[in-house]
Structures are given as C-alpha cells and as structure tokens.
C-alpha cells in the first residue's frame, strides 16, 4: 500500500495498536505529523578518526578487553565496567603505528548489554571522553556492535514509549512506501525561495547520505517557513476581526468604583502600576475596544492591575473572564481573587471541575449570576455562554494560540482585551508579533521586595551543597529543586532526572519533607502536593519546569536549578521568579552540567549578575543560537513545533511580509490556503456568541 502524507499513522508498517495510541496522545495523527519529528542529532559513521578529543561527543571504534557487571538489587542499580583500547592514528603520518589508549566505559542500568560486549571484540560507541583523575573515562555512551545500513544514523528523541531505534525503523518503512506530490505552499513561494518537493526534503532530513549542519538547516528552512507563514496568515486574518470592533460597552469611572478599589487594596500601588491602570482607563474611555499587552517582570504586580481591570467591568454591570494556561495557575489566581474581591460572585472552571459543578457554573454564567470566571481552556468550551461578557484577561498570553484568543473574544459583544505576560519580550519581537496591541510595562516591584541573590554552585561541590541545604531545611525553610527531565535519558546521560535523582534526595532530606511533581503528575495530585508545600507540611518541592508559572508560595525563599546551563535565559529568569515574592531575602542556586558550552557559560554569568528581566530578554535574543540538543532552550514565546522565533527571526520576517501579500491578493493563494481561510471563517462564525 502506497502511503500519502495525510495517511493515518495506523497504516504505517510497524505501528501497531500500542504505538498508535502513544502517537495519538502526542497529537500525531498522520504520516506528515510523524515526519515532522526531526532527528535530535546524527551519528556520522563516515568520519571515525579515533583521535581522542576530551569533552567532545563523537564516534569511536574500540577493542573490548574486559567486561564486569555489578548489581545493587536493593537500589535496583547496575553498572557495567568495560575496559577497552582505542587506537589513535597519527594525523601527520598515516603509515606510523597507531597509538593505543586505555579507556574505561561505565554503563548504568543496562545489564542486557553484558552479553553483547562480552561476545564482540570490537564495538563503536558515541559519547564524551573525560579525563577522570588521570584516566580516560566515558559514561553511558550509545553502543553499536555494527554500523547500520547508511553511514549517517539519525537519533530521535523518544515519543512516549517509542524509542529512537524503533522510530528509525518506522521512518524507513514510511519512505519505503511514501508516494505523494502534495504541495501546501503557493507556486510563487516555492520558486521564490527555491524550495524542493516536501517528500524529497523530508527524506534528506531523516536519512541524509552525507551529514552537513548547513545542509540540514537549509532543508529544515522549508518547514520553518511553513510554520511561520501559516501562523501569520491565521494571526493577521483574526486581527482584522479584532480591529473591526467599535466600543459597545461603556464604562463609568466614578466614586463608587474608586471606593471599591480602596476597599480591595491593602497596600499602595507602585508608580508603574498606577501608570498602567491609567492607560487601561483611557483605553476604556476610547471609541475602540481595548487591545493591550501588559508586560511585567516576575513578581512585579501584574495580577493586581488585572484584578482592578475586572473590577471596572463588575462595577459597571458586566462580566469578566480570566484565562490561564494551567490548572495550578488558575487555582493560584482564584485563591488570590477570593481575598481581593469583596461581595463579588467569582468562580473557577477547569478540566478537573466535576461535571455537575460545571453544569451549575454554565447555567449561572448564562444568567449573569457569576461576575468573574477564572479558568483554563475549559472557558473556551462552546457550550459556555455569558450574559454580558465585556472584559477578558489572558494571562501568559504566549501560551495560547490565535484561535484560542479569538474563541474567548467572541463570547461577548465587542469585548475589551488585556493580555499579560511575565516573559519579557524583546522590542524586535514586540514589533513583529504584537504590533496591533498597545503595550504597557511594569518594571518596578512592590515596596519591600528584595532582589534575588543568584549564586553558581560548583558542580564538584554538589553533594556538600545539598548537605548544607539540609541544615536550612531543618531550620524550617522551604526550597524548590528543579530538574530538567522526568525520566533518565540514554542520550543525555549527564542531565538529572526525577526518576534517577529522587532516591538521592530522599537520602539527604527526610522522605516526609519532599513532594514531587512533574508534567505527568495528575492535576488533583499536583494540587494536593502544592497545598502541602504552601502549608509547610513538606519543605522541599522536587519538580520539572512545570513550576515555571503559577506557583506563588510567599515563604519559599530558595530555588535550586540543576543543569542550569541547558536552559534559555528567559526560562531561567522565570524559574527564579518562583522565589522573591515577599519581603524575605530570597536565593537562587544554579548548578551547571559537567560540560558547559561557551554560550552556556555566558548565560550563567548573565543570570547571576542581573535581575532585570527585560535586559535578560534582550541578551537572550543576542547570544542564543539554534538551541541545545535537549530542547530545553527551545521554549520560545510561541509554541512552534520546528521553528524558533529567536533563532529563525529573519525567516519569520519574510513569512510575515508574504502572509500580508497573500491575504491582500487572493490570486496568490493556492487551494490549500484558500481552504484553510474558509475553515477559519467558519470557525470564527461558530464561536461568535455576539
């Protein structure tokens, strides 16, 4: 059977029922969806020189001398110790006898490799050789007993339970039967940028005959451009709808409102908060609906301004909605709102809200009995109707798609919109992404807040650092510990994971003092653990970057970030913002990886020298390259699958200009684009509850 790009993944040879379910969970439904999961990196067997380069990941051919397996059944750990020789050729004299180096290979928790290594005199490995106390050693390399067909081997990040090796087989099966000449870009675009056929380009990405970094990126450019172009077409199309809205909802700013504000506030606003509030008021007095972006550094007080904006709507007899990306953040805002809003009906609706409660909330919203609703994507449900929605706040704007923003916008009549972000956006990005929005900034932090002290912890002193941290915990203090991975990774062996390190931390701290959360933790369990952390029942919150937004624990004054060099500056700054949320002095401790790139060193130096998020964002844009292989630096301002708005900014600008021309001139549109625009029109009609 010939496969097409739009064929279901169920039709791919090697994808059974189990893997089909796994792919669907990751929203991978078609052959094309799967093929857009590009290799994380390549192993080039064409260039095996065996010349030892310390701390550089490369392929070596080795001669096995001795293999020893040790096990610790109590801790469920195993270690393979392999003694091998590497023969290094003389670069200047190829006829001279190769120099022999003794090397120790350590492989953890893979006892099944024992027989393979015992039986084979020679194996290839891919990894970093390090100088350990005068001995050459490599930890957890990838092992190959033969070179597979094709001398350039793609290595993939696993998808759920589907590991790299099996993904490679699946991709080979796809290209063995893929026959499709589908084209989604207009002909003039293909010619303008000399793009090749989609299938041919994908094959060259997954199975190049010769690996070259520039060639790989040039092949990726086609798909980077596609993502940007279709994003811009949708974005600009929806913006036209936003701009058509003339003010219908009129607001009166009177003494009643001023008295409500006075009662709600238990502190003085900063000068920046006052300025932004006045800008919002002026917007609400204008003839056009408000379209404003509020940038505020972590802990600067954006939420208070958002609450005051919702209060204006309530006092004038309207309803308000506060949309956030995660349940944790929704619950956090709702708790703060209950303390802020007096004698005002507020509610929360999320994915875990019981069905009977959801039905009750929907009915009350429709009748106008709820003044302000907080929630996640559940608010976007088409069954939810409002009586007189006039004000929408979207928090962490960059985490929502254009269609989602439109969906909520059209649940009212000509609503006013305030979108906020704690991720400082460089000016160049603002001009491109948000040029239809007025922009406000809050820079000054509330009175009494102290700058967070950031310290770099020497990797070699990690154990002693945590012993010191234990003494602080025993005195009653709280800390976050952030690890980059949930599960251990064969490809990124030096990165810490919750799976591998949880036992380590339980030996340092009391198990009863530790709570663990990640993206895999059910929402109810997350809320339970977080409440225990807030209440002080647990003192150490061990997590992944799931705590990046939405956690506001006033007396948590320490955060530790492991493998800190693997994150982008903006994400490091966001994580650091989990502390420093009260008048207590707070600390951020960053622990680098064992091998740190030059850019990684620059980022650590910057994050430890400044707390200014806007300065950090500009520096991040300036120094950041294509992103680390692990993907931790790939957290841009928008959720693109392949493209990166920082790395690929020049392509982004081209796509923006092309999208404008395509929308202005329908003759430039092909059937694919015309159909997508028609679907978007229908979607907007369906979600327009005005």
Residue 184 lies in a domain: yes
Are residues 510 and 380 both part of a single domain?
no
Q: How confident is the model at residue 637, as a pLDDT?
A: 40
Instruction: Please determine, for residue 661, whether its predicted confidence score (pLDDT) is greater than 70.
Output: yes
Residue 549 pLDDT class (50, 70, 90 cuts): low
pLDDT 10s digits, 362-396: 999 999 999 999 998 778 765 788 999 999 998 86
In a domain, 673, yes or no: no
CA atoms within 13 A on the CB side of 323: 24
Q: How many structural domains comprise the chain?
A: 4
470 & 507 share domain: yes
Q: Which two tokens stand for residue 668?
A: 């430039």
Angle at 329 between CA 323 and CA 334, to 5 degrees: 75
228 touches 655 (CB < 8 A)? yes
- Whether the model clears a pTM of 0.85, i.e. scores above it, the answer is no
CATH number of the domain to which 139 belongs? 2.40.50.140
Tell me, yes or no, whether 29 lies in a domain.
Answer: yes
Output the pLDDT for position 615: 77
User: Binning pLDDT at 50, 70 and 90, where does residue 632 land?
Assistant: very low
Q: What residues contact residue 209 under an 8 Å CB cut-off, 6+ apart?
A: 150, 152
Residues 423 and 461 in one domain: no
For 18-60, the pLDDT digits (tens) are 998 989 888 899 999 999 999 988 888 887 888 888 878 888 8
With respect to residue 542, please indicate whether it lies within any of the assigned structural domains. Answer: yes
Looking at the structure, tell me whether residues 515 and 551 fall in a common domain.
yes
Q: Same domain, yes or no, for 29 and 54?
A: no
Residue 656 within any structural domain of the chain? no
Contact indicator for 156, 121 with CB cutoff of 8 Å = no
Q: Are residues 120 and 67 in the same domain?
A: yes
Which of 212, 235, 258 is the endpoint of a domain? 235
Structure confidence at residue 478 (pLDDT): 95
Same-domain status, 37 and 51: no
Mean pLDDT, to the nearest integer, of 118-126?
84
pLDDT surpassing 50 at residue 626: no
- 657, part of any domain: no
> Using CA atoms, how far apart are residues 249 and 285, in angstroms rounded to an integer?
10
Same-domain status, 334 and 406: yes
**pLDDT of 200 higher than 50:** yes
Neighbour-count burial for 640-679, b at 16+ CB within 10 Å, e otherwise? bebbbbbbbbebbebbbebbeebbeeeeebbeebeebbee
Residues 393 and 292 sit within 8 Å (Cβ to Cβ): no
- Give pLDDT tens digits for 317-335: 999 999 888 787 888 889 8
- Between CA 496 and CA 487 the distance in angstroms is 9
Average pLDDT of the chain is 83
Could you tell me if 195 and 94 lie in one domain?
no
Cα 630 from Cα 108, distance rounded (Å): 20
Q: Which of 310, 305, 312, 291 is nearest to 416 (CA)?
A: 291
| Residue 340 banded pLDDT, cuts 50, 70, 90 | confident
Contact 338, 383 (CB under 8 A): no
pLDDT of 688: 37
Q: How far lies 359's CA from each of 34, 353, 384, in Å?
A: 38, 10, 9
pLDDT computed for residue 633 by the predictor: 30
Question: Would you say residue 485 lies in a domain?
Answer: yes
**Residues 6 or more apart from 370 whose CB is under 8 A from it?**
319, 345, 346, 347, 361, 364
Instruction: Pick the last residue of a domain from 213, 235, 257.
Output: 235
Q: Tell me: do 22 and 50 sit in the same domain.
A: no
pLDDT band for position 505 (cuts 50, 70, 90):
very high
56-91 per-position pLDDT tens digit = 888 888 989 999 998 877 667 888 899 989 988 765
Structure confidence by residue, pLDDT tens digits, 494-504: 788 898 899 89
Side-chain half-sphere exposure of 531, counting CA atoms within 13 A: 8
The residue among 391, 413, 442 that closes a domain is: 442
CA distance 487 to 255: 57
Instruction: Assign residue 527 the CATH number of its domain.
Output: 3.40.50.300
Q: Pick from 501, 495, 117, 442: which is nearest to 301 by CA?
A: 442
- Does one domain contain both 471 and 570? yes
Domain that holds residue 91: 46-144
Q: Mean of the pLDDT values across residues 300-312?
A: 90
Kindly state whether residues 249 and 355 are assigned to the same domain: yes
Over residues 85-106, the mean pLDDT reads 78
537 located within any domain: yes
């Amino acid at each position: 059977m010939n496969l097409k790009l739009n064929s279901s993944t169920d039709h791919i040879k090697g994808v059974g029922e189990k893997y089909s379910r796994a792919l669907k969970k990751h929203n991978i439904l078609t052959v094309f969806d799967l093929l857009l999961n590009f290799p994380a990196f390549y192993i080039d067997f064409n260039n095996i020189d065996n010349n030892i380069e310390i701390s550089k990941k490369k392929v070596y051919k080795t001669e096995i001398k001795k293999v020893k397996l040790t096990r610790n059944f109590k801790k469920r750990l195993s270690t393979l110790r392999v003694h091998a020789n590497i023969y290094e050729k003389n670069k200047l004299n190829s006829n001279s006898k190769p120099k022999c180096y003794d090397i120790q290979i350590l492989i953890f928790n893979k006892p099944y490799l024992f027989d393979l290594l015992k039986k084979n005199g020679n194996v290839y490995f891919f990894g970093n050789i390090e100088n350990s106390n005068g001995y050459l050693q490599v930890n957890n390399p990838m092992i190959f007993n033969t070179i597979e067909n094709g001398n350039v081997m793609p290595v993939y990040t696993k998808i759920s339970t589907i590991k790299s090796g099996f993904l490679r087989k699946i991709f080979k099966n796809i290209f063995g039967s893929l026959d499709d000449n589908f084209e989604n870009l207009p002909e003039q675009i293909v010619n303008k940028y000399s793009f090749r056929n989609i299938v041919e380009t994908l094959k060259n990405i997954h199975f190049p005959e010769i690996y070259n970094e520039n060639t790989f990126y040039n092949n990726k450019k086609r798909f980077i451009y596609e993502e940007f172009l279709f994003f811009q077409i949708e974005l600009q199309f929806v913006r036209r709808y936003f701009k058509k809205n003339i003010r219908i909802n009129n607001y009166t700013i009177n003494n009643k409102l001023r008295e409500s504000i006075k009662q709600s506030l238990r502190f003085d606003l900063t000068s920046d908060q006052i300025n932004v509030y006045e800008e919002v008021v002026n917007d609400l007095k204008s003839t056009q609906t408000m379209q404003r972006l509020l940038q505020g550094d972590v802990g600067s007080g954006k939420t208070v301004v958002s609450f005051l904006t919702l209060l204006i709507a309530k006092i004038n007899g309207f309803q308000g909605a506060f949309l956030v990306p995660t349940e944790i953040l929704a619950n956090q805002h709702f708790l703060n709102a209950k303390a802020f809003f007096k004698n005002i009906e507020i509610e929360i609706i999320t994915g875990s809200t019981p069905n009977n409660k959801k039905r009750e909330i929907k009915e009350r919203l429709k009748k106008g009995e709820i003044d302000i609703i907080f929630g996640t994507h559940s608010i976007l449900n088409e069954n939810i109707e409002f009586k007189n929605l006039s004000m929408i706040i979207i928090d962490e704007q960059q985490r929502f798609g254009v269609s989602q923003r439109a969906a909520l916008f059209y649940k009212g009549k000509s609503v006013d919109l305030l979108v906020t972000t704690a991720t400082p956006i460089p000016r160049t990005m603002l001009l491109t992404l948000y040029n239809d929005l007025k922009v406000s900034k809050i820079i000054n932090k509330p009175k009494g807040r102290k700058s967070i002290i950031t310290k770099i912890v020497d990797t070699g002193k990690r154990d002693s650092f945590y012993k010191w941290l234990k003494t602080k915990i025993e005195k009653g203090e709280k800390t976050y510990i952030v690890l980059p991975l949930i599960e251990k990774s064969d490809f990124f062996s030096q990165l810490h994971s919750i799976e591998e390190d949880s036992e380590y931390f339980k030996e340092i701290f009391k198990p009863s003092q530790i709570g663990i959360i990640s993206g895999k933790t059910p929402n109810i369990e997350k809320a339970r653990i977080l409440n225990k952390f807030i209440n002080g029942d647990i003192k150490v919150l061990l997590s992944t970057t799931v705590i990046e937004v939405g956690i506001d624990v006033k007396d948590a004054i320490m955060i530790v970030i492991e493998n800190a060099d693997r994150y982008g500056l903006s994400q490091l700054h966001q994580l650091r913002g989990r502390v420093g949320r009260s008048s207590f002095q707070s600390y951020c401790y960053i622990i680098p990886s064992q091998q740190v790139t030059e850019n990684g060193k620059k980022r650590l130096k910057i994050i430890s020298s400044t707390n200014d998020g806007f300065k950090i964002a500009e520096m991040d844009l300036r120094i950041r390259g294509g992103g680390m292989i692990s993907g931790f630096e790939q957290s841009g301002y928008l959720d693109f699958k392949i493209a990166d708005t920082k790395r690929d900014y020049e392509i982004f600008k081209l796509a923006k200009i092309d999208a404008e021309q395509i929308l202005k001139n329908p003759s430039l549109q092909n059937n694919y684009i015309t159909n997508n625009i028609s679907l978007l029109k229908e979607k907007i009609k369906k979600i327009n509850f005005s």
